[in-house]
Amino acid sequence: MRGDGGSGRLDVDVVVVGAGFAGLYMLHRLRRAGLSARVLEAGGGVGGTWYWNRYPGARCDVQSLEYSYGFDDDLQQNWEWTERYATQPEILRYLEHVADRFDLRRDIQCDTRVVGAAFDEETATWAVRTEAGERFTARFVVAATGCLSAANLPDIPGRDTFRGPTYHTGRWPHEGVDFSGRRVAVIGTGSSAVQSIPIIAEQAAHLTVFQRTATYSVPAHNEPLARDRQAEIKARYAKVRAANRQSMAGFGALSGLGPPQHAMAEVDAGDRDLLLDQRWQEGGLGFVAVFTDTLAQPDANEVAAEFVRAKIRGIVRDPAVADLLTPTQVIGCKRLCVDSGYYETFNRPDVRLVDISSSGIEAITPGGIRANGEDHEVDVIVFATGFDAMTGALSRIRFEGVGGRTLADAWREGPKTYLGVAVAGFPNLFLITGPGSPSVLTNMVTSIEHHVEWITACLEHLRGGGHRRIEAEPEAVDGWVAYVNTVAGLTLFPTCNSWYLGANIPGKPRVFMPLPGFAPYDAMCADVAAHGYRGFAIGQPGAT
């Protein structure tokens, strides 16, 4: 495709934005398909999420042997994971190994932030601009920008007046932070806070946690990964990967308990606690798989939620603190957290929980944080305040599609995609794990591999037919958006203020962004491809 059609020479066939799990595998597949590609990465190295999120205790809460590429058997057999749940440094080492093993680095340009991309209709090409003013022309752009990469730093009054250092968990300094002897504030109680709080508490002189919404967390039961256990799983790795690809969440094949078997109402009241306790003992995100309808029926959800609430009351000694830590919303509605000693940390005399659910943080002052009329003196503030999820990284790039329309404008009422991979009016642009795809409700690596392979096959199809242009049809997008809404409406997900709904970002449209269910989504994508990429317009008059 390079330099074709008298359209002026292209720099590459494909510009890929981002060098995390998605961008690295995309590059590998493009090369194997004989396409040229340049990966532009804002960070100083590869790794994406695992390059940026270096806060203390950062680790994945999908098991290492599942949260890893399955596309190359030698890779998955050779790489040895050391823990059941890998730490950030170990996952970053893994991704660096992948970059070296497949000789990817020569096509990756780090420290390069993409700020804009404009589609030229006449030539059916994209012109991609970087912050430093570089320009790349390409037939296609693949946004491998990540679902949780645009940090959310809330605009709290006085934020810039604080005298001491401040950190966001998703932008952590590479040299680490020494909290010893310091009075530390952590704002937020999502996954990043739940992982970091126990470790910060151990180091700091005093820790104050500012909680807007209490969180459900299930123990990780992390442990070293025994060599024989790892070998046993690797011996049946193909089956494990295949089972995950047929599952709702893209992981779970390693669970000894398997997928849920019964709706809550089908289980005798006396047996429910037994099932819940088994899931609790196993630990991790699979907890909500205790009943088939945990995330669909309020009564079933309440049984699971009440079990966790009782655990919190059992762990936290001060009943008033336990009360504040006890969530009231639906369990799993906000992303479930997985912890190692989170609730226990609030039994420490040097840790204080401040409830800001009614009035938020009033102000950040030079000496600390004011909430509920009280000044909390601290030396360091950690913002564990999450991300502008799913659309944030895309909307920070000025994509200009057909007629110069920007993506921000096209998505003013919320993201609208076809299959979560394509947008009407933005030809030749592909999203990996975009809004409208299962993405964040799944093991991200399963979803990424699926999208990368689907996009590669699509590009090969276009090349085979001599086509230079592909675009999602507006009717297909409308149908897909309606479908995602219908599926989400069958669940309890829309019932709380989660980042899945954009509710954590002031002014963001309230739209449920991911599609629940990896299976049957993957089969639907395969069906679209099998029917000549139904719902896509391929080619155009005068420029196939």
Binding residues with ligand NA7: total (CB under 6 A): 22
Integer Cα distance of 491 and 511 in angstroms: 14
Distance CA 310, CA 312 (A): 5
Task: Choose which of 267, 276, 378, 384 interacts with ligand NA7 (CB under 6 A).
Answer: 384
- Give the one residue of 145, 369, 504, 528 binding ligand NA7; rule: CB under 6 A: 504
Main-chain dihedrals φ then ψ at residue 389, nearest 5 degrees: -75, 145
Residue 386 to residue 520: CA distance in whole angstroms: 29
Region binding ligand NA7 by CB under 6 A among candidate stretches 15-23, 187-195, 459-467, 483-491: 187-195
Pick 57 or 425: Cβ nearer ligand NA7: 57
Nearer to ligand NA7, 84 or 508 (CB): 508
Q: Identify which range of 78-86, 120-128, 184-192, 260-268 contacts ligand NA7 by CB under 6 A.
A: 184-192
* CB closer to ligand NA7 out of 387 and 480: 387
Question: What is d(CA 68, CA 89) in angstroms, rounded to the nearest whole number?
Answer: 14
The rounded distance, in Å, linking the Cα atoms of 493 and 334 is 8
Residues 334 and 337: their CA atoms lie apart, in Å, by 9
Determine how β-strand 368-371 pairs with β-strand 363-365: antiparallel
- Binding to ligand NA7 (CB under 6 A) within 353-372 occurs at 360-361
Residue 422 or 444 having the CB closest to ligand NA7: 444
CA–CA–CA angle 106, 110, 112 (5° rounding) = 125
Q: Which CB atom, from 41 or from 61, has the smaller least distance to ligand NA7?
A: 61
- CA–CA separation, 544 vs 540, rounded Å? 5
CA distances from 414 to 312, 464, 499, 513 (A): 36, 35, 13, 8
193 binds ligand NA7 (CB under 6 A): yes
User: Which span sits near ligand NA7 by CB under 6 A: 87-95, 114-122, 191-199, 240-248?
Assistant: 191-199
- What's the closest the beta carbon of residue 360 comes to ligand NA7, in angstroms? 6
- Pick between residue 500 and residue 533 the one whose CB is nearest to ligand NA7: 500
Stretch that binds ligand NA7, among 21-29, 267-275, 381-389, 458-466 (CB under 6 A): 381-389
Binding residue for ligand NA7, selected from 38, 206, 212, 451, defined by CB under 6 A:
212
* Per-residue interface string for the shown chain with ligand NA7, residues 110-149, x marking contact by CB under 6 A: --------------------------------------x-
The single residue listed with the structure tokens 């946004």 is 143
**Interface map 317-336 toward ligand NA7 (x if CB under 6 A):** -----------------xx-
Q: From CA 255, how far away is CA 388, in angstroms rounded?
A: 31
What mask of x and - would describe binding to ligand NA7 in positions 225 to 254, judged by CB under 6 A?
Answer: ------------------------------
> Binding residue for ligand NA7 (CB under 6 A) from 18, 188, 327, 436?
188
Buried (b) or exposed (e) across 4-39, using 16+ Cβ within 10 A?
Answer: eeebeebbbbbbbbbbbbbbbbbbbbbeeeebbbbb
183-187/206-211 β-pairing: parallel
- Say what the alpha-carbon torsion angle 101, 105, 108, 110 is, to the nearest 10 degrees: 120
**Closest Cα to residue 431, out of 6, 68, 5, 23?**
23
Q: Is 47 in the site for ligand NA7 (CB under 6 A)?
A: no
**Shortest spacing between CB 374 and ligand NA7, in angstroms:** 16
Strand partners, 108: 39
Tell the residue number behind the tokens 């050391």, with chain if given: 82
CB of 463 to ligand NA7, least distance (A): 36
Of 241 and 335, nearer to ligand NA7 (C-beta) is 335
Q: Which residue is nearest to ligand NA7 (CB)?
A: 190
Q: Does residue number 213 form part of the binding site for ligand NA7 (CB under 6 A)?
A: yes
Which residues of the shown chain bind ligand NA7 in the complex (CB under 6 A)? 148, 154, 169, 187-193, 212-213, 334-335, 360-361, 384-387, 499, 504
